Structure 1
């Protein structure tokens, strides 16, 4: 991926070395005592890493008390190592792409803040932990990532490459775009009166749309700044395949439970990323009207 020399974003908050970002609570939740989308992600990743049945983890997390929230530490200058500069450059690229797309529709894009942390950190959505994987908190409009996740991708999922890493950030920024457009709020509201199976199905469509938005970013970034090199797309598709619900469940327990899917299968995730990448059209990412995912 070609990124050296491109603009770096200032919307980065580096909390690494802050001692874990504070105490109480052992998990991350979008609120209340019910199981959140974030909780499902925790369960799937933990089940894969530790070989635990994700349904066991999900059952144990339901009804738990919401984590204690603590005030986040203030912004500070980020490190200037290559990995940090890469993250800042990718974030800047999403800002430029979505800024132009929003402007074309007569709107102003409000970029998220990217928070780099180690272990765990306090967020407006509760205590975020590394085991959650990268996540977006709509309450504070921040994307959170422990960069150790990329080592997990390489060691556990056998996925590497800078563009694969950029895809992860672009997916989370896609959730921010959904928040700005009001899509995520509509989904969460609909989930309140839906059955568990119906709620999971809505989560899948939300996640697949974020994958498509990541593809839209890649299309426009490459057209404007020629960022793609040979093998980059394949690396991103490998990342999408590795974190499909069916792949994670099959690795963790040897079988899949489709009704429990919350992010989509490997085939669905790669299909919708390709849709955005090949079209560059946000309108093509309406997973909620699609008859077939």
Structure 2
């Protein structure tokens, strides 16, 4: 499938195009990490460069200086007083997505490109209205083994991740279906991509940079709490997009239930405490969908029991 407005790479092995932004080539550098989609396993604390559903920012991230300060006049902490929170609701987003056969890789690639186009439209427009600079992420949809600046892919349990080093959304076109137990509901994959994109939004607003700075030197329990706040915020930001675009994408009550069931399935259930308990993952996703306002996604000011 040919992407619009970006360089393309033709894979003789797969017979499909990969859509890449101007800052990335498919030769891709090497690194040390990828992020597991199943269970949304975050390893960003261990490896520079990956956030998964989750990535680690660097000083060059963010697409240039913003037209407005990224920290508002109410305070100096970009986590809690970010201009992103003072820009109001996301307006109604109208876009369409093709039908999806989750077991047909070409159909899946067409579908996720359409959703990514819609995400670009929604968030670039929102940042523009807020007077903040924004650049869309690069897209790399893989069919075979490869390397990103954040490390090799795929790895066991890895189906999708966000790499801050090249602002890349990475997604295994076949792997995400396997990691989702063959789920045939398109809205599940819409949420997956929207969550990954939520980390890009955090990066553009400099929230990711502050988050990782705060984690430096933090003990394990504190680091995990910070990670949960970041991941639950990405759930909520995904919800903001879904709330704004849901009518045009045909997301009714049944689709909403499927999304929330999938969110719950990927929340913390074992000893790993990095993405929040089921009730909190559902809560923040629903909050974003209902409010459609990034201000409602300020997990950094939330009580501990809401981010546990």
TM over 0.5: yes
Number of paired residues? 236
**Are residues 1:286 and 2:298 paired?**
yes
Contact 2:33 2:47 in 1 (8 A): no
Alpha-carbon spacing, 1:229–1:136, altered in 2? closer, same or farther (3 Å): same
2:134 is the counterpart of 1:134: no
CA RMSD of aligned residues (A): 3.4
Are residue 109 (structure 1) and residue 134 (structure 2) matched? yes
Cα distance in 1 between the residues matched to 2:171 and 2:277: 23
User: How far, CA to CA, are the matches of 1:274 and 1:65 in structure 2?
Assistant: 31
CA deviation after TM superposition for structure 1 residue 126, in Å: 2.2
Deviation of the 1:235 alpha carbon: 1.2
- Is the contact made by 2:38 and 2:180 (CA closer than 8 Å) also made in structure 1? no
Residue 51 (structure 2) pairs with residue 28 (structure 1): no
Q: Provide the secondary structure at the position in 1 that maps to 2:165.
A: coil
Kept after mapping to 1: 8 A contact 2:147/2:153:
yes
Residue equivalent to 2:220: 196
In structure 1, the partner of 2:260 is: 237
- Partners of 1:172 and 1:118 in 2: how far apart? 19
> Hey, what does 1:92 align to over in structure 2?
117
Aligned residue number for residue 172 of structure 2: 146
Contact 1:159 1:239 in 2 (8 A): no
Between 1:121-130 and 1:184-193, the stretch displaced more is 121-130
Kindly report which structure 2 residues correspond to 1:112-191, keeping only aligned pairs within 5 A, or say none.
Answer: 112-130=137-155, 131-155=157-181, 159-191=183-215
Deviations 1:189-211 (A, max 9, x none): 11111001111110110000000
Contact 1:16–1:118 under 8 Å retained in 2 = no
1:130-178 Cα offsets, whole Å, 9 max, x none, are 43231100110001011233323442xx744101110000000000000
Distance in 1 between residues matched to 2:123 and 2:229, nearest whole Å:
21
* CA distance in structure 2 between the partners assigned to 1:263 and 1:183 by the alignment: 17
Map of 2:274 onto structure 1: 262
The alpha-carbon distance between structure 1 residues 22 and 83, as it changes in their structure 2 partners (threshold 3 A), is same
Corresponding residue number in structure 1 for 2:288:
276
User: Is the CA contact 1:213–1:282 (under 8 Å) kept in the aligned structure 2?
Assistant: yes
Higher helix share: 1
Q: Give the match for residue 53 of structure 1.
A: none
Instruction: Give the structure-1-normalised TM-score.
Output: 0.70
CA displacement at 1:106 relative to structure 2: 1.2
Paired residues of 2:161 and 2:170 also in contact (CA < 8 A): yes
The 8 Å contact of residues 25 and 127 in structure 1, kept in 2 or not, is answered as yes
CA contact (8 A) 1:204 1:263 kept: yes
Contact 1:178 1:184 in 2 (8 A): yes
